[in-house]
Structure 1
Amino acid sequence: MTTAALNIGHRLRGRLGTYTLTRQLYETVWLASNTQQEPVIIKAVRHVRLENERQILKRFPDATVPFRALIDEIQEPQDPPALVLKHYDSHVGEVADKKGLSAREIRHVARRVLEALRVLHENGFVHTDVKPDNIMVNLSSNEDGDGDMRFKDACLADFGNTVSVDSEYAVNGYPLGTPIFRSPETTLILPFGPPADVWSFGATLISLLYGEGFDIFRPDVPVDHELYVDKILTRFHQFFGPYPKTYLTLPGINDEVLELLIHIISTFPPEQRKPFQLASRTEISHRDRDFICKIMKLDPRDRPTVQELLDDDWFQEEVEEHEHGNEREAAGGSETT
């Protein structure tokens, strides 16, 4: 990967417009403005991930699909290659960590992510990197805010690691994505498919429900520690284990993986297990807890599809809360007139 040789004030010409760089956000990501002074995001880097994202976004140009939209492609300069993407106010992880999210906001974001994943899965793709930082949101102004709903829009972003289900990455197993949000099968470098995204969605949902920077599978050692991955696998067992006997028939399973899992199960003190299904109401509502437990199945063959999750009664609470809120507002209004 090469670093974009760009600077603040640099003007880039695309197929549809001209963009001026205003701030560097990350090594390869810039904030820019178009000729109408509207903000956009520029991703500029010579790397296969950028080309992969371009291909995925061009394949699904429908504006109703909740993907971060591709606005333009930079023609000058040609090196490094660059994409112009829709700007969002923040990612949902930042909002959750700073201010927390209402139940209605969480369900709105969850629905949008599942709708995006449904499009990918129905077309034979796996996102592989679902996490709070890759869910973008636009915030309402105070005047436009609707009670406990601050989000005008939400979408899934970063398709650089998105792969087809018949790619060598999925068929042979390759640890794509962010370790603490990876599924067990991906972490174990086994073949994976759409159920891997379902697990990552569940891990993301836990982080959003708890807020304050909480990630349930984050180990107590640095990322570069030799036991980092083993500790993640141990936390899978601690909260959602034990690893089931059905792992014996998982595609790609081998003696080395089985020995590792047996070691984790046999050496982890039983009194330190914290089954998520026993989480108390002081931590999380039982309705949220039960929905999470439907998702977080260690065997990918036991996980629901995104469509089954979208059809779950858990989302009905979003509708009921909104309707009850409107009724309370109407009642309150009638009392004061």
Structure 2
Amino acid sequence: MIEEIQGPDLPVTIALEYLDTTISEASAEKALNRKELKHVSRSVLEALRNLHDDGYVHADLKPDNVYVNMQVGDNRFSEVKLGDMGSKAEEDRENLPLHVLMRQLYWFGPFPDKTVEIADEEITKTLAALKRNNLPAQQGMFKTIPETELSKKDNEFVRRIMKMDWRDRPSAGDLLEDEWWEDE
């Protein structure tokens, strides 16, 4: 956000910075090289660390919500910013909305049994019903990506991030200190 403009009339007007495109659109045009991938990853993790430090989580992190400005060179992205904060939630992970849990199920695979430790009764019943009805999930999709598409080191880094239970995932700050960055 560049500036919040408040006048005597409602609603409040918010002026947002313009960025050229999203990572989703840029990667559809041309796959990211490793240097670009690390640049984008570092920028997103720094933004997440800042959100977490302020007590928020971004509940809709995806390539369509990562905005970039373009430049010429071996790294096409001069700026990387995290957007669409409409799904940002105060850090109350025990009470995430059902739509967030549904997205997690789809991308991360089935919920581990220990989820019942933090879920309320309604969510526990919903998760049990989803499990019984075999709602489609990717089932840990990163385990099956061949090394020709994603190096073993990159795959291991992504799999550390993509653990279903947030309590098992490293924080954004921890990921910024990960050995994965050493060969930059």
Structure 1 residue 79: deviation in Å? 5.5
Query: Corresponding residue for 1:31?
Result: none
Query: Corresponding residue for 2:167?
Result: 301
2:143 pairs with 1:291:
no
8 A Cα contact 2:95 2:119, kept in partner: no
- Normalised by the size of structure 2, how large is the TM-score? 0.81
Query: Corresponding residue for 1:259?
Result: 129
Deviations 1:87-107 (A, max 9, x none): 111111110111121111111
Query: Corresponding residue for 1:165?
Result: 91
Structure 1 residue 290: deviation in Å? 0.9
Structure showing greater Rg: 1
8 A Cα contact 2:160 2:170, kept in partner: yes
* Aligned residue pair count: 181
Of 17, 22, 33 in structure 2, the residue corresponding to residue 86 of structure 1 is 17
SS of equivalent to 2:143: helix
Query: Corresponding residue for 2:67?
Result: 136
8 A Cα contact 2:57 2:90, kept in partner: yes
Structure 1 residue 74: deviation in Å? 6.5
| Structure 1 gaps, min length 5 | 1-68, 177-181, 188-228, 320-337
Identical residues among aligned pairs (%): 34
Query: Corresponding residue for 1:249?
Result: 117
| Structure 2 gaps, min length 5 | none
Deviations 1:303-329 (A, max 9, x none): 111111111112223x2xxxxxxxxxx
SS of equivalent to 2:75: coil
Of 157-166 and 281-290, deviating more is: 157-166
- Normalised by the size of structure 1, how large is the TM-score? 0.47
Q: Flag the 1:151–1:236 CA change in 2: closer, same or farther, 3 A.
A: closer
Mapped to 1, the partners of 2:115 and 2:76 lie a distance apart of 42
* Bigger helix share: 2
Query: Corresponding residue for 1:191?
Result: none
2:2 pairs with 1:97:
no
Structure 1 residue 162: deviation in Å? 2.0
Mapped to 2, the partners of 1:282 and 1:130 lie a distance apart of 26
Q: Flag the 1:119–1:95 CA change in 2: closer, same or farther, 3 A.
A: same
RMSD of aligned alpha carbons: 2.9
Structure 1 residue 71: deviation in Å? 3.6
